[in-house]
Chains A and B, each alone.
Chain A
């Protein structure tokens, strides 16, 4: 069995539409410094760095790890970059975990960032599509997720309805008001969402995540050091990841195999048989409101077709039996390459008791999820307050 490892410190920047005050390495450094400080260690204790950020075309710098790595501490340490679209940040944490679990390193820093405002996101997104088949008509994430959401609603109608998506948006945007890092904090109604301008049916403006600049970081340590660094380390209890073939028509976007498998692997590793009972909270990557319904089902937190009921009944509200996205989720801030790591940080903080105003009581186990690509990459991370 692998060496035990835990998150012992986290750091985030305030997420904003534009962070004009810093350049890309400085943005990453801001989060890294906070994580190191939160862990209560000397920066020189960091033995290796793993960086996650979105496709290079977003910021327009090739091999950005070579540049950004130089802002994250003393020269000479190994720096590795993971780039897997929306799962980049989560993938970086996972790689950092293996740096420690393998026995090769004891204390590792994982940093993720995105600075969309430096480029032209709507154009950059289109370059993710295959030049042979899709790029000519590709136009960003919303149309793709619109297709996904249509598929999902059609499959489960009338049990799941369009206004269930709106309920997710209302819930998460309100949750964000207790998160000092969130970019969008709003108290809105279901009607507000349903009446907001159409983007890509059934997605409307208030169903969408914002474009964000931001960075996040965390420090992972092996067992002995972790126990010294944090009073309540967030132990890695379960990990799962899965990738699928890239072509949208081959993927069941309403119940993606990669998400189902990633969750199964994580539950297996964490000895979890009944996730919604054995976990206390989940942070899942809902770039668009309907995705929260879809991931809730694919993660096995409820049966297929029950996603609407979960949000409508209040189960997933901050005060509910199984809160989802108490941080406000991706709907409140989406620095793409960092968003997957932010979900992990939020889930870890819940276990560590460090989530401040949106801390839930008595959290012993939490789940963080991310997705990426053409709904083809999924990661699931489970943290536990005890080894």
Chain B
């Protein structure tokens, strides 16, 4: 066919958009507590009584509304972990590192976070959070969780 290209043509195109998501009061309150007080808060559901960490104003399980704040942790138990071997864009810290789901003391749900790539990080291990010195009101104000020293 005349004029048709013989090569495989590609058009490179990128979408870069920035966002500033409003948190709402409950998420905002949790993040402020991280930043200003270095404490981790959960929310008790007015419907089923479960304590959710991190908190939402609504219950993901029963559909009820959050009733009360609860301070939880700081210690927690690792319920699951996964090791990330390679760096990627958007990584919260330098690889290798581990993702964990940590059930903090007083919580009925577990919280997603990270740990260093430490052999001791396994299911069932007790961990404690290490806070950053300079905090901005983000989940990453907790630098990571580390195995509790015995």
Interface residues of A (CB under 8 A from B): 18-26, 29, 43-44, 57, 59-60, 70-75, 115, 117-120, 123-124, 127, 131-132, 135
Is the CB of B82 closer than 8 A to any CB of chain A? no
**How would residues 17 to 30 of chain B score, 1 for a CB under 8 Å from any chain A CB and 0 otherwise?**
11111111101000
- Which of the residues A21, A71, A124 comes within 8 Å of B58, measured between beta carbons? A71
Tell me whether chain B's interface is mostly helix, strand or loop, or mixed: loop
Nearest residue (CB) in B for A26 is B24
Is the CB of B1 closer than 8 A to any CB of chain A? no
Nearest residue (CB) in A for B59 is A74
Tell me whether chain A's interface is mostly helix, strand or loop, or mixed: loop
Which 8 pairs across A and B sit closest by C-beta, in order of nearness? Answer: A73-B63, A23-B24, A60-B19, A74-B63, A131-B13, A70-B60, A71-B58, A20-B22
Bound-state Cα–Cα, A21 to B57, Å:
12
Residues of chain A contacted by B58 (CB below 8 angstroms): 25-26, 29, 70-71
**How would residues 31 to 64 of chain B score, 1 for a CB under 8 Å from any chain A CB and 0 otherwise?**
0000000000000000000000000111011110
Residues of chain B contacted by A23 (CB below 8 angstroms): 21-24, 27
Are A119 and B15 also in contact (CB < 8 A) when A22-B24, A23-B27 are?
Answer: no
What's the tally of chain B residues with a CB closer than 8 Å to chain A? 20
Bound-state Cα–Cα, A72 to B57, Å:
11
17 residue pairs A–B, Cβ–Cβ below 8 Å? A19-B22, A23-B22, A26-B24, A26-B57, A29-B58, A70-B60, A71-B58, A71-B60, A75-B60, A75-B61, A117-B22, A118-B20, A118-B21, A118-B22, A119-B17, A120-B18, A135-B13
Task: Give the Cβ gap from B138 to chain A, nearest Cβ, in Å.
Answer: 15
Q: A70-B58, A135-B13 are in contact. List 18 more A-B contacts (CB 8 A).
A: A18-B22, A19-B22, A22-B22, A23-B22, A24-B21, A25-B56, A29-B57, A29-B58, A60-B19, A60-B21, A71-B58, A71-B60, A73-B63, A75-B63, A118-B22, A119-B17, A120-B17, A120-B18
Nearest residue (CB) in B for A73 is B63
Bound-state Cα–Cα, A20 to B22, Å:
5
Task: Give the Cβ gap from A245 to chain B, nearest Cβ, in Å.
Answer: 21
Bound-state Cα–Cα, A23 to B57, Å:
10
- Which of the residues B11, B17, B56 comes within 8 Å of A123, measured between beta carbons? B17
Bound-state Cα–Cα, A115 to B23, Å:
12
Bound-state Cα–Cα, A19 to B18, Å:
18
Of A73, A127, A132, most B-chain CB atoms within 10 Å:
A73
Decide if B17 touches A124 in the complex (CB within 8 Å): yes
Residues of chain B contacted by A72 (CB below 8 angstroms): 63
Residues of chain B contacted by A21 (CB below 8 angstroms): 22, 24-25
Nearest residue (CB) in B for A67 is B60
